[in-house]
Structures are given as structure tokens and as C-alpha cells.
Amino acid sequence: MEPILIPSLANRLVIPTDPSEDEFNYCSSGITIDSYEIISTIGSGSYGSVYLVREKSNGNVYALKKIYYVDVHDSELVKKRAIRERDAMIVCNKAKNSRAPKLHRAFIDKDECVFYYVMDYIGGGDFNSYCYKRLCEQKPFTMDEIKFYMAELVICIETFHHLGLIHRDVKPENIMINEEGHLILCDYGSSKQLFNNYSTHNGFLSVSSSAPGHGGSFGSFGSGSFGSSGGSFGSGSFGSGGFSNTPPNFTSFLRNPSSSYTSYIGTPQYMAVEVVQGTNYSKLCDYWSLGAILFELCTGQALFVESPDTTEQKIRENIGNWRGLLNTAISKNQSIPKVVETLIRDLIAPERKRIDSMGIRKHPFFEGINWEDVSNHRNTPPFKPTLNSSTDTTYFRN
Ligand SMILES: Nc1ncnc2c1ncn2[C@@H]1O[C@H](COP(=O)(O)OP(=O)(O)OP(=O)(O)O)[C@@H](O)[C@H]1O
Ligand SMILES: [Mg+2]
């Protein structure tokens, strides 16, 4: 199969600290921000915003993500995250990863110091907002629904891993619902390229699209935890103005080019203990996040967040003491079925004991799931967004 080329510097282990247009731009010849009409704002994050836009030349509607890289906390880190995000999206594009938003263009505005990404607009909104809506409507998820969403997420994460990428920020806000009701994994600013499947090709690093597994078959709600800031569904991620992580440690990666990393990145309440503690970690950290989401879907409560006032520091401490807190949380939520409890315990576990995608697929919780069907979007989603037009933003209104 054709190798996937990352159209950037030859040595991508060194991320440019001041990327030029040549290093950043992707399919954007002659394109500037003036090529777009902004229809509305659909999301805002730590360093920028996401807009619904129309490309003036062809009338196509897209989501446009804008990231400022000056006058922000740790602008070097912001630039690195922006480039990693672009690279990961290009890898997903080339591999035709249907669980990723397609990147149509990326361009940099050097005068305004802004990165732009033009992506498919995913109209069903983010999973966090959907969970919050269910909470407000007092409609807890059924086990069948939880099974559907967990299976979809397993495929999203697996597909990402098979392309040689670790996401490191799997959380409900970074999961989108497409117009059919299937899940899409977004926001690759915290992602990491494993390079295991990469080789050099004409001076570019490349990943083989025949990477292992790619293309193959592949309760009750508790107290107000779904919700806005500080609550469970809806907290901010690291990378915000208060980013206190150590920047990704590329030096240690160069010394030890295996699939283990020591950089400290992610979102505290979904973050694996090995990431919080800064020890080596691997792609299995994304499955810890899956376990935290599973607990939350079943109970409506976040595992390591006691209240909206719980500080980031306290969440980290709680994750450090995860065993005791997990036992307490499970004993307080007797309604969690035993089979779910075992899956949670297999995911919220020390890395060496945590199950990987094969273990997850075989887990009794997923009994009866046809993974081939999940992989090919053949299972019927429990919720299908109703969109009246390509510019309908119903699911992005609070
Ligand atoms: N392709 C898309 N289609 C529709 N909405 C999107 C899309 N991408 C992002 N959004 C919306 O914008 C929000 C913020 O986007 P994203 O998660 O990429 O940025 P962020 O969290 O600010 O990023 P970062 O973590 O890099 O600071 C998402 O939660 C989602 O609601
Ligand atoms: Mg995000």
C-alpha cells in the first residue's frame, strides 16, 4: 500500500518552534481567512474557537478551528500542539479514517499569528452536550445504549492507534456525534505519533496504511455531574491558560524511540495514573479514559471529581489514590451491573494489568457485539440527530 506522507519537515521528531507557511499549510494554495464567510461560532476552547463557515468560492460548509499562538500562555507549546494536530489529521485523512473529521485545508496567518484548520462539520454536536441533555431530561442511558457508545469508542480509539497515534485526551467533549449518530474522535492537539509504523520515504516520514489492524474488522444518574465547568461532562482540558503540564518531552523520546513516553499531557479527570505520575506510558492510557467514561455513563458521576469545586490538584491526588477511590465509588453505586464493574476494573487498572483492544473486544460486557458491524457503521445508533440543513447548529446551542 502507498505510504502516508506527512507533508512537513523531513525530520518530524523535531517539531518546528516557528513553523513557516510551507511547513504548516495543507491544500491551501491561495486560501486565506477571507476565503470564508463565518456563519456562527460552534465551540470555543483554550486558545481559539471553532466556527461554522462557508467557503465563498464553492459554497461548501465546514467547521473552521482557529488557534492563536501569540500572547498566550506557553506559545511554544501551543505551536507544537497545533502542528501535532495537523499531522494527526493528515494521517487520518490519508488512511481514510472514518472516525476522524476530515481535514480539508490547514493554513497559517503569520500576521495575525493564527493557525486555521478547515474540517468537516460534524453536525450532531459533542458527546458531552448530549450526555448533559440526557441528564437535564432525566433520561439515563440504558445498558444497550452504553454498550453501543462504548463499542463505537473502542473502534474510534483502535483506529487511531492503528495509525500509530495515541490520542491522550479522550473525553466526552472531544467525541462528536455525526449526522447518522455515530461517534467521531476529534481534537488531536494532545496526540502523539508512535512512529512504529513510520518509515522515511523521499525524505518524508511516512506511515504505512497497511499498519496492523488497519482496514480490518476492525443506570441511573447521580448528583449533577454531567454539566458545565467543574462538573463531570464539561470540564476544561489541560492546554488551557492554566496549562501546568511539562511540555511533551521529545528529548527523552529521541533517547528511547519505543512506544513509551513520559510527557505529561491530557485532561485530569480522565487521565491514566501513569500519565499523572509521569512514568512511562503507552497507547493503553487511552483505554483508562474509556473506563472513566464508562463509569460516568453508568452513574452520571465522574470517578475522581467529588464536586464542581474539586481542584485540578485534588483530581490528580485522587487519581494517584485511584484504588481506594474506585472501590468506594463502586460500592456507592450498587446498581452498576457486575459485568460493567469488571470492565471498569479492567480499564481503571495499572498499565501492566489493563486490557488492550483485544481484551476489550472479548470482554463479556460486549457479548453479542459484532465488531465488524460496529466498524462499518452498520449498527443502528440509539440517537440520530435531526438536522434541517447543512448549516443547522441546533446541537451546538447550550
Ligand atoms: N469538526 C467539527 N465539527 C463540529 N464541531 C466541532 C468540530 N471540531 C470541534 N468542534 C466543536 O468545538 C469544540 C472545541 O473543539 P476542539 O475540541 O477541537 O478544541 P479545543 O478543545 O479548544 O482544543 P484544544 O484542546 O486544542 O485547546 C468541540 O468540543 C466541538 O463542540
Ligand atoms: Mg477539545
d(CA 292, CA 3): 35
Ligand lying closest to the C-alpha of residue 188: 1
Per-residue model confidence (pLDDT) at position 329: 95
What is residue 43's three-state secondary structure?
A: strand
52 closest CA partner among 394, 60, 61, 44: 61
Binding positions are: 65
Q: Residue 185 pairs with which residues in a beta bridge? A: 175
Any idea where the domains of the chain sit in the sequence? 125-375
- Compute the average pLDDT of residues 135-151: 94
Cα-Cα-Cα-Cα dihedral of 15, 258, 193, 77, to 10°?
-40
Is the confidence at residue 131, as pLDDT, over 80? yes
CA 351 to chain CA centroid, nearest Å? 20
Is the confidence at residue 79, as pLDDT, over 60? yes
CA 42 to chain CA centroid, nearest Å? 17
Q: Which one is predicted more confidently, 270 or 19?
A: 270
Annotation says 169 is catalytic = yes
Q: Which of 34, 111, 126, 169 is catalytic?
A: 169
Query: Under a CB-based contact definition with an 8 Å cutoff, are residues 374 and 158 in contact?
Result: no
- Compute the average pLDDT of residues 206-227: 36
Is the confidence at residue 196, as pLDDT, over 50? no
Q: In this predicted structure, which of 120-134, 180-194, 239-253, 293-307 has the lowest mean pLDDT?
A: 239-253
Binding positions for ATP are: 65
Residue owning grid cell 449518530:
181
- Compute the average pLDDT of residues 106-113: 93
Per-residue model confidence (pLDDT) at position 386: 97
Per-residue model confidence (pLDDT) at position 246: 29
d(CA 81, CA 64): 17
Is the confidence at residue 261, as pLDDT, over 50? no
Per-residue model confidence (pLDDT) at position 247: 28
Atom of ligand 1 nearest to the CA of 85: 26
State in Å: Cα 51 to ligand 1 middle: 9
pLDDT (tens digit, 9 = 90+) per residue, 181-191?
999 999 999 89
Per-residue model confidence (pLDDT) at position 5: 46
- Compute the average pLDDT of residues 205-227: 36
Most confident of 152-161, 190-199, 303-312: 152-161
pLDDT band, residue 220 (cuts 50/70/90): very low
Give the environment of ion ligand 2: residues with CB less than 5 A. Answer: 174, 187
Is the confidence at residue 318, as pLDDT, over 90? yes
Name the closest-CA residue to atom 13, ligand 1. 43
Per-residue model confidence (pLDDT) at position 15: 55
Q: Which one is predicted more confidently, 326 or 18?
A: 326
Among 46, 50, 192, residue to substitute to test ligand 1 (most atoms within 8 Å of Cβ): 50
Atom of ligand 1 nearest to the CA of 237: 25
Atom of ligand 1 nearest to the CA of 240: 27
pTM of the predicted model as reported, rounded to 2 decimal places? 0.83
Q: Which amino acid is at 194?
A: L
Query: Under a CB-based contact definition with an 8 Å cutoff, are residues 316 and 276 in contact?
Result: yes
Mean of pLDDT over the chain: 81
125-375 — its CATH code?
1.10.510.10
Helix axes 143-162, 285-299, angle to 10 degrees: 170
Q: Which one is predicted more confidently, 82 or 18?
A: 82
- Compute the average pLDDT of residues 213-225: 32
Among 38, 65, 191, 233, residue to substitute to test ligand 1 (most atoms within 8 Å of Cβ): 65
Q: Which one is predicted more confidently, 210 or 95?
A: 95
Name the closest-CA residue to atom 1, ligand 1. 121
Q: Residue 271: CB partners within 8 Å, gap ≥ 6?
A: 285, 288, 289, 319
184 closest CA partner among 381, 347, 391: 381
Per-residue model confidence (pLDDT) at position 55: 98
Query: Under a CB-based contact definition with an 8 Å cutoff, are residues 390 and 53 in contact?
Result: no
Percent of the chain residues topping a pLDDT of 90: 59
